[in-house]
Amino acid sequence: MRHDKVCTHLHYSICKALGIETTDRWYTHIPKTVREDGEVTVLWNQAIHTDREVTANRPDIIIKNKKEKTCTQSEALRASDCIKTPHRHSHTETERQHTPNQIPPMK
């Protein structure tokens, strides 16, 4: 439940930063499966189809930029996931450091 609240806040912040219409306050924001505004689409909790079987194929948020032809995946990790598998957290951070920052800075 808390994980969903964190992701809801993140979804709200991303939509707000990208100029996608949303509510005035994050806690009244209800993420829609697809939010679109011109060149940018924000997907919420959508399964990703791949050419091979992947069991964890439902990232929290995906930002698709049609103009730049890029997709950015956002996955909120639970603290318990990092404690049980510490390498997972460091791997995620490494991937994010090497990926161009496509999300506008949050204010």
Q: Report the predicted TM-score, pTM, of the whole model to 2 decimal places.
A: 0.64
- Work out the average pLDDT over 72-84: 69
Select the more confidently predicted residue: 5 or 40.
40
pLDDT above 70: residue 77: yes
pLDDT at 42: 92
The DSSP string of 20-85 is: ----SSGGG----SEEEETTEEEEES-PPP-SS--S----SEEEEETTTTEEEEE-PPPHHHHHH-
Least confident interval from 16-25, 27-36, 55-64: 55-64
pLDDT above 70: residue 107: no
Q: Where are the domains of the chain?
A: 2-98
- Work out the average pLDDT over 35-58: 85
